[in-house]
Amino acid sequence: MDRRTLLTGAGAAALASTLPGLAAAANSLPLSAPVRVGRVTLRCRDAEALAAWYQSAVGLQEITREGATIWLGAGGERLLGLTERSGLDLPGQQEAGLFHTAILLPSRRDLANWIAMAVERRIPVDGTADHRVSEAIYLTDPEGNGVEIYADTPQAGWRWVDGEVQMGSYRLDLEGIMATLGALPPLWTGAPAGTSIGHVHMKVGDAPRAGRWWQETLGFDAVSSRDDAVFLSTGGYHHHIAVNQWLSAGAGRRSERTTGLELLELLRRDSGPMEQFEDDWGTAIRLA
């Protein structure tokens, strides 16, 4: 995925100049889905340092600690677990694993407040994009894990053609986002209640095969498919899961001795037994 406009240097100054005197706008939240992403656990070299980064740069709060795992979240809900293990290596870019964890903010105004904070603190940003279903900003954490901060656009404006949602990567309307603040000064006190993990995007060795696995094993719907990437969801969301082979075509199973995705936990809306799965690249998935 093309990650374009950097919010550093002159870009940050230009963004900061749009803050005062702008009008407010509203945003909508995704509909509840039969199965959605609940929590993500990362295995890491230094949980303390990584937790500090996710608190400062993303706005997550520490919820609890369980052994070697630090749990972070928002509104008292656990979203991200950081499990420290000794002797881990950083994975190569061409290996299968995590592409990014996408943090969904409740509203476009929350995204504006996050942007103002990022500019003030000079948080390095990889790129931005308007995906027509969401507005997103991309970061990389200190151990190389991709992070997306995003807000959904109103679902009434999502366009579906033959069962596929129409997405893409376009220039982000930063002025429009910051306009949601109106005359109010930016106010960021951390990720607000209602923040969730909207989707998880993974690198795999064969995207079409991975897409079929998610459909046949876990019952997800493919909502956007091409040769090198498949986007999947339940309940008509634009995507809860994405798999791509942009950097990792032909990759085999992930090493257990590298940092990155440890466990992806999905939550079902209706009651049912806890089930454990593993995809062809060694990613552990729990349906709870």
Segment 254-277 shows an average pLDDT of: 95
Contacts of 164 (CB under 8 A, 6+ apart): 223, 224, 225
For residue range 32-85, what is the model confidence (pLDDT) as tens digits?
899 999 999 999 999 999 999 999 999 999 999 999 999 999 999 999 999 999
* Banded model confidence at residue 8, pLDDT cuts 50, 70, 90: very low
- The CA-based diameter of the chain, rounded to the nearest angstrom, is 53
| Rounded Cα–Cα distance for residues 154 and 242 (Å) | 21
For residue range 250-265, what is the model confidence (pLDDT) as tens digits?
999 999 999 999 999 9
Report whether 72 contacts 62 (CB < 8 A): yes
* Banded model confidence at residue 213, pLDDT cuts 50, 70, 90: very high
